[in-house]
Amino acid sequence: MALVVGNSGYQNAPLLPNPANDAAAITATLKAAGFDVVDSRLNLAATDMRRALREFADQARDADIALVYYAGHGIEIDGTNYLIPIDARLERDTDIYDEAFSLDRVLLAIEPARQLRVVIVDACRNNPFADSMKRTVASRSISRGLARVEPTVSNTLIAFAAKAGLTALDGNSKNSPYATALVKYIAKPGLDLRRAFGFVRDDVLQATGNRQEPYVYGSLGGDDVALVPAAKAEEPIQAANPQSETRRDYELALQLRNKPALNAFLSQHPDGYYANLAKLQLNQLEAEEARVAATAKAQQAEEQQARLMSQGAQRADREKAAADLKAAEEARVVAEKAKQAAQEQAAEAERKRTAPESTIVAALSENNPAVESTVADSPAAAKSAEDNKTPKLAALSAEPRQTDIAKADIAKSVQSELSRVGCFTGAVDGQWNAASQRSLALFNRHAGTKFDVKLASLDALDAIKVKPERVCPVICDHGYRASGDQCIRITCAEGSFLNDDNECEKRRGKKPVAKRNTDEGSSRADRSARERSEPMADVPRRQATAKASGGGGSGQIVCDQYLCRQVRRGCHLDYRGGGGPGNNTGNVEVCN
C-alpha cells in the first residue's frame, strides 16, 4: 500500500511547480507495479493531511509493504524534520509544532506494516519562511535542507532527495531529477531496494552536475527486498495441504462403510470438516441398525398377536398383544423416519463435498463417448477402463477446454466458501480474478495458511470448508460499526455528532457574545420623549386649576374631560348620579 502526497499550491509561500507532477508520476508507477492501494493526494491543508495520515495508518495494519512519498516544502528545526501543509503561515519558529507534521508522525503511520516500511521525502528545498519567521529563542537551530534520521523500527528505509543539510533542485523539466530517477528504478521487478536507491543516486548526481546527492537512512537484512517481485518463469507448485491426508483417510473409511472404520477415523481425526462428515455417516449406520431392530420387533409383536388369536387366548392377553404391536409399529415408523433423515443429511454432505470432483469427471467424460460405449458393451473392457481410469483422465485433462471447465468450477466453489467465511464480497461467477486472489490472500492472513493465491485449488477448498464460522473481520465504512457479520449505522444521542474517528462526540454550545447597542442614542431619545409625553394630559388641568383658583370663587372645583376649574361665583355643584366628567353625570355646575 502507498500514500503519495504532492504539495504545490502554497498559500503563504512561493508556489512549487514540480511536486504535483512528481506525485502523479510516482502514483502511475506504483499502480503499474501492482500495488493493491495507491492513495494519491494533492495540495493538502493541515486538516486534510492529518486525515490522510490517519486513514493510511488504518490501511497499513493489513499491509506487507507500506510506502509514503511526499513532495513539497520541508523544514528542519532543532534536529527534527517537518512536512509543511499548503495553509501553513509559520510566523514564528514555535508555530511549526501546530501547523506542520513531523517526519516521526509519518513513520508512526506506517509502523504496523509487517515486512517493509519506506518513506521517500522529496522536500529538501530552501526554507521559504526563513526571512519572515520570528525566532522566539535565539539558540534554536533552523538549518538548510533536512536533518539526518535513524529509524527505530527494523526493516525501515527513509530516502531523502538530498543529503542532510543540503538542498535539492527542481530542475528544468516537468519532473525533478530525483522523481525522474525514482520512476526509472523504484518499481523494477526483482531489483533490491538498496541497489535501486543506489542507481537513483547515480542518475541524480549525473543530472545535477554532482550538486545534489540523494541519501538513504535505515537498514535491511541480508535477503534481497524488492518492491515488485521478479516474474516467475513457471507455474507455482501448490503447497502441501494437511487436509489432503485427512480427506484420503475419510474416503477410505467411507469405502469400508462400517462403524468400526468410521470410529477408527474419528479417533484419529476427532475434529474438523471431515470429522463432521464421518459423524453424519455414523449416524446413518446407527439409524439403519435402529430401523432394522424396530422392524424385527414389530414383526415379533405381529406374530405373537396372531399366535394368541389362533390359540383362543384370553381377552386380556389379546389386548396386551395388540397394544405391544401398536407400540412396536409406532417405534418402527419413528426409526424409519430417523433413518431417512440421517441418510438425507449424509447424502447432502457428500454431494457438497464431491461437487468439484464430480464436475471435473463429467466435463472430461463429455468428450469421450467412445470409451463409455465400449465399457457398456464389454465387461472386460469395463474392467480395463477402470484399471486405467486415472492415467486416461490425466491425459484428457490436458485439453484446454476441459481444463477451463474444471478450473472454473473449482474457482466457483472456492469463491462460495470464501464468501461464507467473510473473505469474499464479489460475484460467485468462477472467474479467478484479482478480487478473488485478494480474498484468498486475506484468508491466508487470518487463517494462517499459505495457499498460492493465483490458483483455486481443491486443497484450498478443503481448508476453507473446515472453518465453521467467519474468518475475515468485518470492515465498515465511516458512519458504520461492525456488529457480528453486519455493518450497522452509528446513531449519536441528541447534542452529539460523529467525528472523524467514527466516535460520538458531544457538541459544544455557542458562548454568548456581548454586542454594542448601536441604537443607544436613539433609545435614550425615545425614552426621554416618552417620559416627557406621559404627564402632558394633566398639564392643562393643573394650569386651569391654578388659573381658576387665582380669580377667586366659591372654593369648589368642577372637572370635565379636559380640565378642572373653580366653580364660578354665584354657582354651586349639583350631584346628578353616575360619575366621570364630560358625560352629563356626577357633579355639574348649576348657576342661579
- Residue closest to 113 by CA, chosen among 223, 35, 9, 7: 35
- Helix pair angle (177-185, 18-32), 10° resolution: 0
| Beta-sheet pairing, 116-122 with 101-102 | unpaired
Which residues make Cβ contacts (< 8 Å) with residue 557, sequence separation at least 6?
545, 548, 564, 565, 566, 567
405-430 pLDDT, tens digit per residue, is 567 778 888 998 898 888 988 888 88
Let me know whether 27 and 168 are in one domain. Answer: yes
| Amino acid occupying residue 180 | T
**Which residue among 176, 201, 219 closes a domain?**
219
Let me know whether 56 and 179 are in one domain. Answer: yes
Question: 463 near 451, Cβ under 8 Å?
Answer: yes
Inform me whether the pLDDT recorded for 11 exceeds 80. Answer: yes
Question: 221 near 155, Cβ under 8 Å?
Answer: yes
Let me know whether 254 and 130 are in one domain. Answer: no
Q: Specify if 390 maps to a domain.
A: no
| pLDDT at 201 (0 to 100) | 93
Inform me whether the pLDDT recorded for 522 exceeds 70. Answer: no
Percent of the chain scored above 90 by pLDDT?
A: 19
322-356 b/e (C-beta count within 10 Å ≥ 16 → b): eebbeebbebbeebeebbeebbeebeebeeebebb
- Residue closest to 455 by CA, chosen among 440, 442, 445, 435: 440
Q: Specify if 411 maps to a domain.
A: no
Q: Specify if 434 maps to a domain.
A: no
Alpha carbon 421 to its chain's center: 17
| pLDDT at 380 (0 to 100) | 44
Phi-psi region at 422: left, alpha or beta (left = phi > 0; alpha = psi -120 to 50): left
Query: pLDDT higher for 468 or 190?
Result: 190
**Which residue among 336, 370, 402 closes a domain?**
336
| pLDDT at 460 (0 to 100) | 87
Tell me the average pLDDT across 517-534: 53
Q: Specify if 259 maps to a domain.
A: yes
User: To the nearest whole number, what is the mean pLDDT of the chain?
Assistant: 78
Let me know whether 194 and 257 are in one domain. Answer: no
**Which residue among 155, 184, 219 closes a domain?**
219
198-220 pLDDT, tens digit per residue, is 999 999 999 888 888 898 998 88
Query: pLDDT higher for 532 or 292?
Result: 292
Residue 52's pLDDT band (boundaries 50, 70, 90)? very high
Q: Specify if 399 maps to a domain.
A: no
| pLDDT at 86 (0 to 100) | 93
Let me know whether 215 and 257 are in one domain. Answer: no
- The full length of the chain comes to 592
| pLDDT at 46 (0 to 100) | 92
Let me know whether 209 and 271 are in one domain. Answer: no
Q: How far apart are the first and last CA of the chain?
A: 120
Residue 400's pLDDT band (boundaries 50, 70, 90)? very low
Strands (E), 50-140: 65-71, 74-77, 80-83, 101-102, 116-122
| pLDDT at 557 (0 to 100) | 82
Nearest-angstrom CA–CA distance, 46 and 159: 23
Percent of the chain scored above 70 by pLDDT?
A: 77
| pLDDT at 178 (0 to 100) | 92
φ/ψ of residue 314, rounded to 5: -65, 160
Residue 364's pLDDT band (boundaries 50, 70, 90)? very low
Lookup: cell for 410: 473449482
Query: pLDDT higher for 159 or 238?
Result: 159
Which CATH number characterizes residue 194's domain? 3.40.50.1460
Tell me the average pLDDT across 228-232: 79
Residue 370's pLDDT band (boundaries 50, 70, 90)? very low
Let me know whether 213 and 293 are in one domain. Answer: no
Q: Specify if 178 maps to a domain.
A: yes
Let me know whether 94 and 174 are in one domain. Answer: yes
- Which range is most confident: 128-142, 254-268, 356-370? 254-268
32-64 b/e (C-beta count within 10 Å ≥ 16 → b): ebebeebbbbbbbebebbeebbebbbebbebbe
Domain count, the chain: 3
- Which range is most confident: 187-196, 309-318, 457-466, 491-500? 187-196
| pLDDT at 237 (0 to 100) | 54
Lookup: cell for 100: 506542520
Tell me the average pLDDT across 532-540: 47
Inform me whether the pLDDT recorded for 377 exceeds 50. Answer: no
Let me know whether 90 and 148 are in one domain. Answer: yes
Tell me the average pLDDT across 573-585: 64
95-134 pLDDT, tens digit per residue, is 888 899 999 999 999 998 988 999 999 886 677 777 777 7
Q: Specify if 230 maps to a domain.
A: no
Inform me whether the pLDDT recorded for 367 exceeds 70. Answer: no
Lookup: cell for 249: 483417510
Residue 532's pLDDT band (boundaries 50, 70, 90)? low
56-95 pLDDT, tens digit per residue, is 999 888 899 999 999 998 888 888 889 999 999 888 888 8
Question: 192 near 225, Cβ under 8 Å?
Answer: yes
Let me know whether 25 and 131 are in one domain. Answer: yes
Tell me the average pLDDT across 548-559: 62
CA distances from 16 to 20, 167, 211, 235, 281 (A): 8, 14, 20, 48, 73
Let me know whether 8 and 114 are in one domain. Answer: yes
Let me know whether 256 and 192 are in one domain. Answer: no
Query: pLDDT higher for 556 or 529?
Result: 556
Inform me whether the pLDDT recorded for 172 exceeds 60. Answer: yes
Q: Tell me the residue range of the domain where 580 lies.
A: 561-591
- Residue closest to 116 by CA, chosen among 206, 186, 16, 48: 186
Inform me whether the pLDDT recorded for 41 exceeds 90. Answer: yes
| pLDDT at 164 (0 to 100) | 74
**Most distant CA pair in the chain: distance in Å?**
164
Query: pLDDT higher for 166 or 184?
Result: 184
285-301 pLDDT, tens digit per residue, is 888 888 888 888 888 88
Query: pLDDT higher for 321 or 72?
Result: 72
Q: Specify if 195 maps to a domain.
A: yes
Nearest-angstrom CA–CA distance, 383 and 389: 10
